[in-house]
A and B are shown apart, each in its own frame.
Chain A
Amino acid sequence: DAKTTQPPSMDCAEGRAANLPCNHSTISGNEYVYWYRQIHSQGPQYIIHGLKNNETNEMASLIITEDRKSSTLILPHATLRDTAVYYCIVRVGGGGTSYGKLTFGQGTILTVHP
């Protein structure tokens, strides 16, 4: 699976949009971009994933660049409860030999301030 690079930490004001970047310059054509977050003492929570197109759900939006070498997770109106470690992961989709395995990096610690 391709390696990802994320900033170690970011701050955001409550109510503002949080934009978390992720670099995955070695991504392959069949690799998906996934975002998870982990709040202290809980298991990672799935946020969103995508292959090529931008995606949006009730939690966030995922913007993938045209060359797919980077992406941005957008939390449109951050709240204090969004303070967490955010992980960007890329992995081969649908039945590849590494199915079932997610490779987590160090992630980005997002702190939302009042």
Chain B
Amino acid sequence: KAGVTQTPRYLIKTRGQQVTLSCSPISGHRSVSWYQQTPGQGLQFLFEYFSETQRNKGNFPGRFSGRQFSNSRSEMNVSTLELGDSALYLCASSLRGTEGDQPQHFGDGTRLSIL
């Protein structure tokens, strides 16, 4: 069974540009969450999408946005890039159930560097 796939793996942008990152969840998983990882702040939750709707949001500015498609694939967009946006962006997918609990499974991330 294929895991979570994130593309691209590496990306270099300059300040002021915008970027779109892509995430394909594990087949059958309908919940997709995004995280930012930096050396200073660690792993921080950005948002979660389920059934094409944002269900949960972390404490990030509006420049960070996302969407989910009907096939559960998700994209996140960062506009007006700042140097501080340099980070590893991780996507995780899970089954969303009401009984017990389901783990999230992570991709290997997109490493974004802002020059």
Residues of A whose CB lies within 8 Å of any CB of B are 32, 34, 36, 41-46, 49, 51, 87, 91, 93-95, 97-106
Q: Which residue of A lies closest to B96 (CB)?
A: A99
Is A100's CB under 8 angstroms from B50's CB?
yes
Q: Which of B63-115 contact A (CB under 8 A)?
A: 90, 92, 94, 96-101, 103-109
* Interchain CA distance A43-B104 in the complex, whole Å: 11
Total B residues in contact with A, Cβ cutoff 8 Å: 30
* Interchain CA distance A32-B100 in the complex, whole Å: 9
Given A43-B90, A43-B109, A94:B31 Cβ within 8 A? no
DSSP majority for the B interface? strand
Residues of A within 8 A of B16 (CB): none
Residues of B whose CB lies within 8 Å of any CB of A are 4, 31, 33, 35, 42-45, 48-50, 55-56, 58, 90, 92, 94, 96-101, 103-109
In angstroms, how far is the closest chain B Cβ from the Cβ of A37? Answer: 11
* Interchain CA distance A105-B45 in the complex, whole Å: 12
Between A41, A42, A102, the greatest number of chain B beta carbons within 10 A of the residue's beta carbon is seen for: A102
Residues of A within 8 A of B96 (CB): 95, 99-100
13 further A-B pairs in the complex, CB-CB below 8 A; given A44-B92, A102-B33, A102-B104: A34-B103, A43-B92, A43-B108, A45-B106, A46-B106, A93-B100, A94-B100, A99-B56, A100-B104, A101-B33, A103-B45, A104-B43, A106-B42
* Interchain CA distance A105-B41 in the complex, whole Å: 10
